[in-house]
Amino acid sequence: MPFDDDSEAGLVAKDAPGSNAEPLSITEISALLKRTVEERFGFVRLRGELSGVKRAASGHLYCSLKDEGARIDGVMWKGQVARLGFQPEDGIEVIASGKLTTYPGRSNYQIVIERMEIAGEGALLALLAKTKARLEAEGLFAPERKRALPYLPRIIGVVTSPTGAVIRDILHRLADRFPSRVLVWPVLVQGQGSAEQVAAAVRGFSQMVGEDRPDLVIVARGGGSIEDLWSFNEEIVVRAIAESTIPVISAVGHETDTTLADFAADWRAPTPTAAAERAVPVREELLGQVGELGLRLRRAAVRPLALGKERLDARLQRLPRPEALLTVYAQRLDDQGERLRRGLADRVAIARGALQSDRARLSAPLLLSYIGRARERLEAVSRLMVSLNPDNVLQRGYVRVTAADGRTLVSAALAGKELSLALHFRDGKLEVAPQGVRPSRTAPSPRPAAPEPSPVQGKLL
């Protein structure tokens, strides 16, 4: 019962007259308040801005929800946190569903959040812009990070749902353009846990080794609302694509849909079909190009021969005919031949005239007279040569002295200067030395025979 204002407060607490109410303990009143709040507010949905978001080591999430005039603490247990479709951050406007309760330890009330969603598309876009700005500041979307796609990948890895139309479109388009080997990593592309599966698939392809490692990865999903595509805006997916060691094509949604995965990928395709078209060239076009290059190669090989033949033909046209080249020389040969013929004839005529003019001097008696006089002169010369032969006097007991080189010595002074001398007798040669020099003995050489007189020349005519 309420206190009487006229009653005086005593030093010791006393029960009021007629009252049988015992005083409550703090624990009791806290329990009463807790039961009253939970019974009255067993389920509520609150809209507010997240503040002071903190994830404990246990996995529980602690935060506050606030608006312009008030705030309330909130807690979300680990099991519910794992089912969140987004990453809670300060400043995000959300709608939280749960039950109100009190926390006696701090004498306050709080909401135990069982479900939390972003409060409308506007709030979702604000969260997207915030996340994009943060990741862009880290350099995850920088153009210099983009890698060139392989021209003709040997193996293509595809991260998508294995049952949707997306994988059928990709396989069909690849078969039409350039049949390739495709490895499909099946994942959820929407809903709880889809972001984690997509990120794990991208990292799984990067960690592959050996012949089965893809040369290119396509992350694909069909179109939908921003909520349907939200998994590809999650930070875990964006970082996995940015850290991939294999070039990545992002093909999420339709042409007007944009996700953060598109900014992190090496190339963005407007549709999954466009991703397949970008991944491989058209085989028939390649064959045509190869054929065209082969034809150009053959033409390039034949062209120099054709040009050489044309140049040769042109030069041949400018060359004079062989008979024209020989005409001058033939004419010159004819002229020289005619001159030679006339010269010979003239020479014969002159010789014939000279012969006829000297006929008298070439008569037989005159020639015989010439021959007789010539024979007499020859015999006289022969007799003179025999008489002048120095060896002829050796027959009369004379000796001829010669030096080692065959010179005839005619004085004692000359003979004294020689190291060796040769004494020629009629029956041989004796080698001696001047006084004081010992001569070497040699066998006497036979005396050279005197030259026989030349026979008398016969008659000329």
DSSP readout, 197-237?
A: HHHHHHHHHHH--STT--SEEEEEE----TTTTGGGGSHHH
Distance CA(141)–CA(291), nearest Å, equals 41
Give 434-456 as a 3 state SS string.
Answer: CCCCCCCCCCCCCCCCCCCCCCC
Q: Rounded to 5 degrees, what are φ and ψ at 348?
A: -65, -40
User: Following DSSP, what letter does each residue of 172-183 receive, concatenated?
Assistant: HHHHHH---EEE
Query: What's residue 23's pLDDT?
Result: 77
Q: Encode pLDDT of 19-32 as tens digits.
A: 666 777 888 888 88
Distance CA(169)–CA(160), nearest Å, equals 12
pLDDT at 184 over 50: yes
Q: Give the least confident one: 130-144, 245-259, 313-327, 350-364.
A: 350-364
CB atoms within 10 A of CB 114: 15
Distance CA(236)–CA(203), nearest Å, equals 11
428 or 394, greater pLDDT: 428
Q: Give the least confident one: 16-20, 37-41, 181-185, 392-396.
A: 16-20
Rounded average pLDDT over 164-176: 92
Please give the CATH superfamily to which domain 26-118 belongs.
Answer: Nucleic acid-binding proteins (2.40.50.140)
Rounded average pLDDT over 212-222: 94
Q: Could you give the angle at which helices 120-137 and 235-242 cross, rounded to 10 degrees?
A: 30
Q: Encode pLDDT of 368-414 as tens digits.
A: 888 888 998 999 888 888 777 777 777 777 888 899 888 888 888 88
CATH class, domain 145-281, is: alpha beta
Mean pLDDT rounded to a whole number for the chain: 84
